[in-house]
Structure 1
Amino acid sequence: MAINILHKFHPAMIGHYTPIKTIGDGNCLFRSGNCLFRSISKCLNGSEEQHILLRLLSALELIENESYYKSDQFLADDRILKAEYSNLLHDVIGLYTWSVVELIFVVSAVIKKCIKSYYPPQPFSDYTSEVLSRRVVGRGCKDMSPDITIMWSQMSRSEIIRLEPNHFVPLIPANKILVNDVSPLSDDIKVTKVETCSIPANATFVVIDGDDSDYDHSETVER
């Protein structure tokens, strides 16, 4: 669907970027939120598997820097109605929840990379695109750090008149894609360079009691 959205609203992007498929379960920001988190994970290492780790680290980022995320210093843009801190923390802790724009700033702070947020221009109004198409520089992130790009998309097979986003996908520069009879939205698409998300050696973790059925894998990694 992302490729159809680009064809309809901004075909010039297709020659420069290729949208990559992510699972639409609310985690796609963290795998490309889950959908936000899925997308970011795929941009970092070509796989969605770190989306839960990214969500956990984002929750810790919010908890450890509560005063910053409650202050006017965070997302100083009057065009965006910021979510309450408690709501933002609730969204990042819960799996399968949709991700708001503020979480892109939080994830940028976690991975220490700038994130390009791309919202395709709309035929009736470019205002939303102007606000959400931006270079996101998270707390402590150097403005000159390499970018990764995510696109606001939609999970739908119906005719799209106006974008009603409920999904994120990674946008990979066309020159980083190895085309070996692989479709643009295939899970098997290959990226020429993979950058892993390193976890600081002094990172602190908290144990949260809960039912292990809340998680989609139970692998334990020792550092």
Structure 2
Amino acid sequence: MRPKRATQMKKNVGLCPCIFCREICSEESSSAECSSCKGWIHLLKKASFSPNQVRAEQLMLKTYNIDLPKSVPMSSSASRVDDISGSILKRYHPVILESHVPIEVCCDGNCLFRAVSKGLRNTEEHYMQIRLLTLLELILNRIHYDYEHEAFVDHFNDDRLLFDRFDTVLKDIATEFSYCGMVALSGISAALSVPIQSYCPPTQGAYFLSEPLARVVRGRGVSQRKNPAFILMWTCSFIPLTTNAFTPNHFVVLHNNLKSPVVDLTFVFADDNHDDDSASATAAVACVGNDDEDDDTAAVADISDNGTVDYDEDEADDYDDDAIDKDGHFVSTEPDILPGGKSLPLGRFLETEKVIEILQRTSVNDTHSEVPRGKKDDVYSVVQNENNKDRRT
């Protein structure tokens, strides 16, 4: 259609309402005429997605019987191991490598949808179709994904998760090679009617980074009794230079390499001690089956005694921590806490009033010039603040 602006023919607009909304154009600059069918249409000041367009797209998919193929069990022997993710697991959560292996997924911005396609169909080739189905799901069910909507339905109920604005999320999903996150993952779950186990290795600041991402994602309308179809791992496209530099920017499939069912990797912090040290976080591994309508209250299993996976540790060792740490970026794991460290009462964080009291009664001689290096378990130290004061002045 080649539209032209309504100018001298404006007087005919009343006889030719918009062919989409049937409303009569009230402004000359807001209408255009199709040079072929002579139909009038409104000109959009801001392009958006129409629910009617979505329903038409869904009808076309149904009419031409365009659907994802049936699920295919994934085999790690027929897939490439993601060595970078393996090294990340070896550093942050090595026990997982006793039963699981990270499967490589193309790192091109489509990794979320490629990983879902790989996890469900044992191939990445359906990623664009999954993008489309996810986009249609979000447009038709906005209140489940737009946190600014007055009737927003929060399926996560976790303030630690930060979401982009709805229009930004839509644009990212609709754009090939554009990275997507947790909102899109919820849409994928709803669009495909499958729960997905989301997993992120416990890193520095695990309570605010890893724990919110380690959950079973059940999108709109997905049964609470349905078990996760596969494990999606939040990982990185490169090996972090320091232990606290891990920022997820890639997705892979974490494949269970044993004969046991898929597991629920949900972090549990002992005694509510949300310490930044990843060693304080443990993973509760609950056995769940694939696509069965069993109770969600599955038994907890200890995977520490299970057999090893077919994982090439020699190849992973090419990323030598010592080589990366030659400039001293890594914090030593040796128990070399400086004198003056005090034990936390009951292994918990200090209340604000208690912190103020400690700061008021601590002498200069009992403070440290910097945060003591090394492994710190349930202790606190008072550090001088002169450097920060100097930077502000």
**TM-score normalised over the length of structure 1:** 0.72
For the pair 1:4 / 2:103, whether they are aligned, the reply is no
Quote the Cα distance in structure 1 between the aligned partners of 2:210 and 2:198.
10
Deviations 1:147-170 (A, max 9, x none): 121111111156452311110001
- Give the counterpart letter for 1:74 in structure 2: D
Quote the Cα distance in structure 2 between the aligned partners of 1:117 and 1:157.
20
Quote the Cα distance in structure 1 between the aligned partners of 2:216 and 2:126.
23
Aligned residues: 175
**Matched residue, 1:22:** 105
Deviations 1:76-100 (A, max 9, x none): 3222222211111111101111112
For the pair 1:83 / 2:159, whether they are aligned, the reply is no
For the pair 1:136 / 2:217, whether they are aligned, the reply is yes
**Matched residue, 2:127:** 51
Quote the Cα distance in structure 2 between the aligned partners of 1:149 and 1:160.
26
- Give the counterpart letter for 2:233 in structure 1: M
**Matched residue, 1:68:** 144
SS at match of 2:209: helix
Quote the Cα distance in structure 1 between the aligned partners of 2:255 and 2:195.
15
**Matched residue, 2:177:** 96
Q: 1:42 to 1:79 in 2, by over 3 A?
A: same
Compute the displacement of 1:118 (Å): 0.6
Q: Out of 158, 166, 170, which is 2:253 matched to? A: 170
Q: Out of 107, 111, 118, which is 2:188 matched to? A: 107
**Matched residue, 1:221:** none
Query: Contact 2:135–2:173 (CA<8 Å) still a contact in 1?
Result: yes
Query: Contact 2:185–2:217 (CA<8 Å) still a contact in 1?
Result: yes
SS at match of 1:109: helix
Query: Contact 2:117–2:126 (CA<8 Å) still a contact in 1?
Result: yes
Compute the displacement of 1:67 (Å): 3.2
**Matched residue, 2:293:** none
- Give the counterpart letter for 1:66 in structure 2: R
Q: 1:79 to 1:72 in 2, by over 3 A?
A: farther
Moved runs in structure 1, 4+ residues, more than 4 A?
A: 181-184
Query: Contact 1:112–1:145 (CA<8 Å) still a contact in 2?
Result: no
Query: Contact 2:160–2:208 (CA<8 Å) still a contact in 1?
Result: no
Quote the Cα distance in structure 2 between the aligned partners of 1:40 and 1:65.
21
Query: Contact 2:113–2:130 (CA<8 Å) still a contact in 1?
Result: yes
- Give the counterpart letter for 2:159 in structure 1: D
SS at match of 2:86: helix
Unaligned runs of 5+ in 1: 32-38, 185-223
116-125 or 146-155: which moved more?
116-125
SS at match of 2:101: strand
| Aligned ranges 1:185-204 → 2 under 5 Å | none
